[in-house]
Structure 1
């Protein structure tokens, strides 16, 4: 998606915004929900700018101008479109694998019987193809460091219909243009770019696509969101914010260990005061015990673990602790929401995508998935406000909320509908610039949350204290 000389900067920014929307859309990308008109409404961009972004991301037909410029040294890395053209057969995606330092995109020919049996859907297919290209663009792979002499591609190609990216072996534009060209040759039906692939790409878009390994015909585990996912420290270059418009997905070592701790507390049924050992966590995460102990000390410093001469233990959570925590989140959140309300609408895009994860978790997950997706949505709103110090404070408070949820063994299943309703209302009010209405919704949301959590605290809920601390 390189810009022509003199092209307005707004189009480059629009390309990044629209790519983030398409990359995280999943199988629904081919529905009217992701038409250019709806995406324009979602992002606050004009429909003409969005339409141009769709075309630039999709790169349809670009390969036609590249055929004469292919370099002989790239033949092994890109087995080009000429093989497709001589066969005359339509294609479909056969495999997509991302394993640093290599991305493999492989196609296969469609049997004549399959070609005759389908009803083409060119518009829907075009969006699905654009989602694949968008996922590659937001992955950050073009910035991967070179790894010295490139290793030969692994796996078997299918009649030469393979495109491989390795940093230093070929240019990113050559790679992307060749993938786009092969997509041009695909049968224009949904199955040419299957929904399970789009789901994998959407789930991993914020992690540089690392871990995607989809092969046609093989069952895959799909999920919308889960905070308890096993997260090892990455051995590949962390993509950071490959696109600033994607929801945040990268975690520090301390945060990864906090997630593992929460999972252990929940699974083992630990109660306040129970001892926690660094050794099992170190083994599970593939880290040194010293690294884990250092992270646990940081968590203890933040009040997320209890520490003493005997080591670390699950912290006590009192009713006063819960009220203190939620009063702090309430007031910091009010500042952040007022900041969000005056930002351009496109700054809210990561939060809007995170809201989609809340809705998906409500449809397909349990209460824990919805609650963790809700906390991620809240953090995206905090980051969108443009108030870095307040956002960092809010993030620290969110880590404490997550730990309290684990210690108290909270079940948010009965609150799912209310959580989704409140989040949708918050987003609608912020998009409309109604700051004080958003603040009132936030106040009601946290009032419900503090009472839900306090119900399981060992002390009775002090309604008067909460009323004094939460007064606006």
Structure 2
């Protein structure tokens, strides 16, 4: 079981455990506030990933780090809570503050998992690979309130105000060139050890934000206890694209293979921005779109955007005429053609998924969770986008590179069609969730043909729904011929 769950790694216990650590870190980093529930016990995570419970338990401990303990003053415990977290390339900063009173404890196990989720987000951020040649001289843990000082803070150190209440704050920062990454993780874990075992010490809104950013290197995380209501809104797909665009490509770590794929090319980012502009502005087929506003929105040069728009036009995602661009027309035949292609490529990919190692399907399981969350709490647009992401994760998990690449190109086209046609997913939400659950269940159990049958039914409903909004009536005979 351990060797199966670890995936394609070299033989030997250390390499198996390292692989298990990365898999479990991906699960914890994307768990959000539910990480403290039984759903994320070591047994359930073992079932989710296909790893042995021994490997998972060891991974929990290694990710969590720390050695226990709290700040003490005159022999009395002075617990901490997280006050701020900010990721501004190439720097990560965590700020903790003492709290005078503790109530509503959540239990050591539940709190430990919340702390592990925060540490896991750091693990999968790729920050260990950041480079900053101009980093200043090393500064380890800073103590604010009476002014910064060099060196690590002793475990029994804090400041007291009137009435013996603790004041000031403890912070730990990572910046390339200042200290080893492992040292930063150890000090962050030590400060988490000092936190009160209450949910508010690591708020759920921060865990939710980290889960949303885990696949994006945590870029853009800016949370402060005083301003949490303003800073923790989950970003839209266009905002996510901008975050990736702002990230400097040199020195970044490779994408974690067990996190959902969110790396976007410039062309894909422009496609996302185009979809948003089409939806926000109510554009219809034939309306002209110029590169200038998009360039300003994305912070890119007009020439770069125009070049990417030409590529989108080559792929049929934009119409091009007389050197300009416009929203393409979408006919019923276009919709049927597109969905027939996705149907057949998807069938190949699902058969590949049914024979893939279980750990390779972890991003698919996480993506299904995003679909369920969007159905329960998100907007109708969120459900549609999460469903497409779930489908793309299935494509990636199959291990069939050419088919996955073709499917991705078709998905970009579907996203544009959805924007042009202003699709309403209200009638389809429950069916989308149910179909996705059945597909994943069949794939996990190796029932490839059951997955294919559900996929065929899913796309049949989708093409009929989309075609109903196209300018032409739905050609049932054409769809029947192409979808056999």
- Aligned partner (choices 212, 215, 226) of residue 203 of structure 1: 212
Distance 2:238 2:14 in 1: 43
Displacement of 1:439 in angstroms is: 0.5
Question: Could you tell me how far 1:200 is from its partner in structure 2?
Answer: 1.0
RMSD: 2.3
2:32 to 26, 34, 38: 26
Cα distance 1:87–1:201, how it changes in 2: closer, same or farther (>3 A)? farther
Indicate the SS of the match to 1:14.
helix
Matched, 1:107 2:70: no
CA distance in 2, matches of 1:292, 1:88: 57
The DSSP-based 3-state class of the residue aligned with 1:282 is helix
Contact persistence 1:281–1:292 (CA under 8 A): yes
Moved more, 5-14 or 376-385: 5-14
Whether contact under 8 Å (1:351, 1:380) holds in the other structure is yes
For the 8 Å contact 1:83–1:161, the answer to whether it is kept is: no
Matched, 1:186 2:195: yes
Q: Distance in 2 between matches of 1:405 and 1:259?
A: 12
Tell me which of 109, 113, 126 is aligned to 1:127. Answer: 113
1:396-448 superposed Cα distances (whole Å, 9 cap, x missing partner): 00000000011111111221111111111111111111111000010000000
**Quick one: distance in 1 between partners of 2:77 and 2:34?**
30
Contact 1:120–1:187 under 8 Å retained in 2: no
Residue 355 of structure 2 contacts residue 446 of structure 2 at CA under 8 Å; is this kept in 1? yes
User: What TM-score does the superposition give when structure 2 sets the normalisation length?
Assistant: 0.88
The answer on 1:425 being equivalent to 2:414 is no
**1:285 positional shift:** 1.2
Q: Which residue of 2 aligns with 1:456?
A: 469
Deviation at 1:119, TM superposition (A): 3.0
Tell me how far 1:110 sits from its aligned partner: 1.4
Corresponding pairs, count = 447
The answer to whether the 8 Å contact 1:337/1:381 transfers is yes
Change (3 A) 1:88 1:176: same
For 2:18, the equivalent position in structure 1 comes to 12
Give 2:241's aligned residue. Answer: 231
Q: Is the Cα contact below 8 Å between 1:327 and 1:470 reproduced in 2?
A: yes
Unaligned runs of 5+ in 2: 1-10, 146-167
The 3-state SS of whatever aligns with 2:105 is coil
With over 3 angstroms needed to count, the CA separation of the structure-2 counterparts of 1:408 and 1:6, relative to structure 1, is: closer
Q: Aligned-pair distance for 1:100?
A: 0.8
**CA 1:84 to 1:157, structure 2 compared with 1: closer, same or farther past 3 Å?**
farther
User: What's the counterpart of residue 72 of structure 1?
Assistant: none
The 2-side partners of 1:459 and 1:120 are apart by 58
The answer to whether the aligner puts 1:139 opposite 2:122 as a matched pair is: no
Q: Paired residue for 2:46?
A: 40
Contact 2:371 / 2:387 at 8 angstroms: preserved in 1?
Answer: yes
TM-score of the superposed pair, with normalisation by structure 1: 0.90
Alignment of 1:34-433 (within 5 A): 34-61=40-67, 88-111=77-100, 114-115=101-102, 117-150=103-136, 157=144, 159=168, 161-218=170-227, 219-220=229-230, 222=232, 226-229=236-239, 231-232=241-242, 233-237=245-249, 239=252, 241-433=254-446
Q: 1:55, 1:222 → 2: CA distance?
A: 28
Q: Report the Cα distance in structure 1 between the residues aligned to 2:66 and 2:73, rounded to whole angstroms.
A: 16
Task: Give structure 1 stretches of 5+ with no counterpart.
Answer: 65-80
Contact 1:225 1:373 in 2 (8 A): no
Deviation at 1:7, TM superposition (A): 3.7
Partner Cα distance (1:145, 1:83) in 2? 37
